[in-house]
Amino acid sequence: MATNCSVQMNELLRFLQRSSHRTLMEWLEAHLADGCESCHSRVAWLIKLGEDLAPDALGQVNVARSIPDPRLRSVPMALRGSLADVRQELFEARSDIRIDVQIEETDPDSFTLEGQVMIFDGEGKSGKGAVVSLYQGGERLAKTTATVIGEFTFTGADSGTYDMTILVDDACVVVPDLEV
C-alpha cells in the first residue's frame, strides 16, 4: 500500500473504530474529504479486513508497534556489517502478542521472511495455528499457518512495502509498512 502520507495506520483504525479524540476525528474526516489516496486505500483495506473476519469485527483488529530489541544493539559493530543482508524487527500488539520478524535477502531483490508469533498471557499459549498473511496494495499475496511453536515463513518476496496480518485467538494483528 502506498504510504505517501504521514497518517499512521493505527490512527486510521481508531478513526474507523470511533475511538479517536474528537479533534483528531474531525481532522481525519477533513483529511479524507481532501482526497488523500493513501489514506483512502488504507481505510478501504481495513474495512475489508474487518468484514472478512466477521460482521462488526473491526474492533478485534490491533495495529502492532515496533519495539526496540536490546539484543540487536549488543551486536558488535564489526559483526553488524556481515549481517547486512539480514534484518530483524520485533513488534507488539496489545500487551500480550509479540511478532519477531527476520528478513533475509536470498537473491538480488528476493527475500525470505521468517518469524514467530509469541503470546504472553500467563496461560502458556503459543502462536500455534496463527494464520499469517502478507499483503501488498491491499491484495493478499501469501498465507500460511504458524507451526506448533508459532513460527512462519514466506519465501520469494520481492523488495517493497508489505502489510502483514496475524489471526490469533480472538484478535487480528496488523504489522503495517513492513519494508522488505
- 154 DSSP 8-state letter: E
Lowest pLDDT segment from 45-54, 79-88, 96-105, 115-124 = 79-88
pLDDT level of residue 2 (50, 70, 90 thresholds): very low
CA dihedral 118, 120, 123, 126 (to 10 degrees): 0
Lowest pLDDT segment from 48-62, 124-138, 166-180 = 48-62
Alpha-carbon Rg of the chain, whole angstroms?
17
Q: Provide the mean pLDDT of the chain.
A: 84
- Do residues 35 and 66 lie in contact, with contact meaning Cβ atoms separated by under 8 Å? no
Element (H, E) at 57: none
- pLDDT tens digits, residue range 5-39? 889 988 998 888 888 788 988 999 999 999 999 99
pLDDT for the residue 117: 94
- pLDDT of 54 above 60: yes
pLDDT for the residue 161: 92
- 93 DSSP 8-state letter: E
End-to-end CA distance of the chain: 13
- pLDDT of 81 above 70: no
pTM of the entire structure? 0.80
**Chain-centre distance for alpha carbon 102:** 13
DSSP 3-state of 25: helix
pLDDT for the residue 70: 63
Nearest Cα neighbor of 169 from 85, 27, 60, 45 is 60
Q: What percent of the chain has pLDDT over 90?
A: 46
Q: How would you classify the pairing of strands 86-93 and 97-107?
A: antiparallel
